[in-house]
Amino acid sequence: MAYSIIPKTKRDGKIELIDGTGSPVTLDIAYEDGNFSFSQPDKYSELVIMDRGNITTIRRQDEQTLSGSFSFFFRQFTDGSEAGSARDFINKSGNYAANISTGATGVPYVEHYCIDIKYTAEGTDFGDEADSTVTLSKCICSLDFAEGDPSAFTLNFTTYGGATVTGPA
Amino acid sequence: MGQSVASIRSGIAAKIAGITGFQESKQTPDYFGRTQDTIAHLGFTVGVPSSAASEDRQRRTVGVYLNTQYRVIFAYRFRPLDAYPTDYDLALDKESEVINTVLESYSTNNQFTLKYNGSSRAVPDSQEYIIITIDYTANHTI
């Protein structure tokens, strides 16, 4: 099928948090800016070797992580019985206290509690063969809170399990 | 989850109508004060001059997150011999009462937040009334 001719916008996006349970517990992020971002550097950092100012050799160095962030509006901090709190989801607390880390199995092993984050850009509604997705595995998350109109959280994450992308074949 | 522009407007109007003496005008907000009939002591109107989209994805499952401007306009009659300063100050006290009353919590249809933006006051040449305009912003989802 032809390469998609539809640039995607924030109206097409969806962010989903996923835990490591067999049938994963998931949470769709709602009430958000639509500013999901992530950066994926080359797998290895570069060691640039110079010979009196001239680049002579580039060697692979350490494996690098992915990182990213997105914001969403503050509605409540926690809830012990109702689904919906991203803060609870990334902290394994409240309604999500029984969640299982995605970093407990596989490589690399992650001792911290971590989750997968999946971003989906709608495509089939516009004639694409499939939606485009990226799943960022084994993300350790932190949360910033800022009061304002409206008050908002910013979720920052570092991904240790890499990114898996899917889309039209 | 969400709350319509109209239901917030009517909620604000109900709050003001609950203040002793206030009655909602039959004239549209844009014409309040332009004709003699619309001007009555403690007559008021609640208009909705504009709405603007806030930054969000506007997903259909969530709705559209808006900030909507609400404008409360009311008239306070000046008695001929007490227009200033007695009635002028009484009108300002009424304004304070309206500002605070509108910002109180709403028991139903309360899925919005409201913020006071400012007031403006105008006395016509006849000096019979002062017309006070109070602006608010509501954040809500439709």
Domain ranges of chain A: 12-166
Of B56, B113, B115, the CB nearest to A31: B56
Point out the residue among B57, B139, B141 whose CB comes nearest to the CB of A13. Answer: B57
What is the C-alpha to C-alpha distance for residues B140 and B106, in angstroms, rounded to an integer? 14
Share of chain A above pLDDT 70, in %: 100
* pLDDT recorded at residue B43: 93
What average pLDDT score do residues B29-39 get? 73
pLDDT at A1: 74
Residue B45 has pLDDT above 80, yes or no: yes
List the domain range (segments joined by +) for residue B58. 5-141
The string of pLDDT tens digits covering residues B79-96 is: 989 999 999 999 999 999
CATH topology (fold) of A12-166? Elongation Factor Tu (Ef-tu); domain 3 (2.40.30)
pLDDT(A153) > 60: yes
Which residue of chain B has the CA closest to A33?
Answer: B56
Say if the Cβ atoms of A32 and B57 lie within 8 Å: yes
Q: What is the CATH number of the domain that holds B66?
A: 3.30.2000.10
Chain B residues with CB under 8 Å of A11 CB are 57-59
Task: For chain B, give the mean pLDDT.
Answer: 92
* Banded model confidence at residue B35, pLDDT cuts 50, 70, 90: low
Averaged over A24-50, what is the pLDDT?
A: 96
What's the gap in Å between the CA of A109 and the closest CA on chain B? Answer: 35
Contacts of B58 in chain A (CB under 8 A): 11
| Beta strand ranges found along chain B (DSSP E) | 23-24, 43-53, 65-77, 112-122, 129-141
- Of the pLDDT bands very low, low, confident and very high (cuts 50, 70, 90), residue A2 is confident
Q: Tell me B87's DSSP state.
A: I
Across the interface, of B56, B113, B137, the residue whose CB is closest to A32 is: B56
CA angle, A37 then A134 then A77, to 5°: 55
Disruptive mutation site among B3, B54, B57 for chain A (greatest number of A CBs within 10 Å): B57
Give per-residue pLDDT as tens, A12-32: 999 999 999 999 999 999 999
Across the strands, what pairs with A141? A157
d(C-alpha A59, C-alpha A149), whole Å = 48
CB contact under 8 A, B65 and A31: yes
Element (H, E) at A17: strand A13-18
Q: What pTM was computed for the model?
A: 0.85
The total domain count for chain B is: 1
Asked if the ipTM is above 0.90, the reply is no
Q: Please, what is the average pLDDT of chain A?
A: 96
- Coil, helix or strand at residue A50: strand
Q: Does A92 touch chain B (CB under 8 A)?
A: no
- In a mutational test of the B interface, the residue from A31, A74, A75, A82 whose CB has the highest number of chain B CBs within 10 Å is A31
